[in-house]
């Protein structure tokens, strides 16, 4: 069942999970996934470009089409994803809450025999949510709550549609769950990483 409240439609600018901006079409929310800047990498002792992958998720507060796009966001990341060597899962950190844990502990397989592309997490509100791959028509990824209500989904542009200045892919977050936007994007990024690495 799908919630029928005005959703947030976040356009995925590049379509690449390792670096993109998500701009809400009504200017209500602006998120970014980016690798650390050289200064951030040096300060935090992140590995070099040939080692493990580190991604930072920001609530940028501005549209990526701004002339200031080339500048890094003038704030701390909301979440940091540090993947292991050879694409393995690593650590997820939520900066403001000062919480850090293994990704496999935070985003768990739904059952012992479930595939890697069906995983669940407990969000900051104490509720459990689950990501599933290709389970709902026209959704590449769907995030559902414990009652199987769709709270967010990621849709990929069909080859027939034309997109300008964006990938055409859209992350939709239903309005009652927008306070979980950082966790939704962080877990979606991990799920897309798992799919890309064929885990």
Instruction: For domain 8-196, say whether CATH 2.60.40 is its number.
Output: no
Whether the model pTM is above 0.85: yes
- Decide if pLDDT at 91 tops 50: yes
Q: Domain ranges in the chain?
A: 8-196
The arithmetic mean of pLDDT across residues 103-122, rounded, is 90
CA torsion 93-97-101-107 (nearest 10°) is: -80
Q: What is the pLDDT of residue 5?
A: 58
Q: Which residues pair with 57 in a beta bridge?
A: 33, 79
pLDDT 10s digits, 4-23: 658 999 999 999 999 999 99
**Predicted pLDDT at 192:** 96
Residues with Cβ within 8 Å of 42's Cβ and at least 6 positions away in sequence, in order, are none
Q: Which of 87-96 are b and which e, b meaning 16 or more Cβ less than 10 Å from the residue's Cβ? A: eebbbbbbbe
Query: pLDDT tens-digit profile of 27-39?
Result: 999 999 999 887 7
Over residues 78-107, the mean pLDDT reads 95
pLDDT tens by residue, 136-193: 888 899 999 999 999 999 999 776 676 667 788 999 999 999 999 999 999 999 999 9
Please report, for residues 19, 49, 80, the alpha-carbon distance to residue 38 in angstroms, rounded to integers and kept in the order given. Answer: 15, 10, 15
Q: Dihedrals φ, ψ of 122, to 5°? A: -100, 120
Higher pLDDT, 189 or 51: 189
């Amino acid at each position: 069942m799908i919630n029928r409240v005005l959703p947030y439609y976040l356009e995925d600018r590049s379509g690449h999970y390792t670096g993109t901006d998500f701009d809400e079409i009504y200017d209500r929310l602006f998120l970014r996934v980016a690798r650390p800047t050289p200064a951030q990498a040096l300060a935090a002792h992140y590995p070099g470009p040939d080692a493990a992958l580190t991604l930072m998720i920001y609530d940028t507060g501005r549209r990526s089409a701004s002339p200031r796009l080339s500048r890094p966001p003038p704030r701390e990341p909301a979440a940091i994803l540090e993947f292991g060597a050879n694409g393995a899962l690593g650590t997820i950190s939520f900066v403001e809450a000062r919480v850090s844990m293994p990704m496999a502990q935070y985003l768990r397989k739904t059952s012992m025999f479930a595939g890697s592309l069906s995983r669940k997490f407990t969000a900051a509100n104490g509720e459990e949510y689950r990501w599933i791959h290709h389970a709902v028509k026209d959704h590449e990824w769907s995030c559902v709550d414990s009652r199987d209500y769709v709270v967010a989904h990621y849709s990929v542009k069909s080859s027939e549609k034309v997109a300008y200045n964006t990938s055409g892919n859209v992350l939709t977050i239903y309005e009652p769950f927008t306070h979980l936007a950082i966790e939704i994007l962080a877990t979606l990024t991990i799920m897309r990483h798992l799919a890309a690495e064929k885990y």
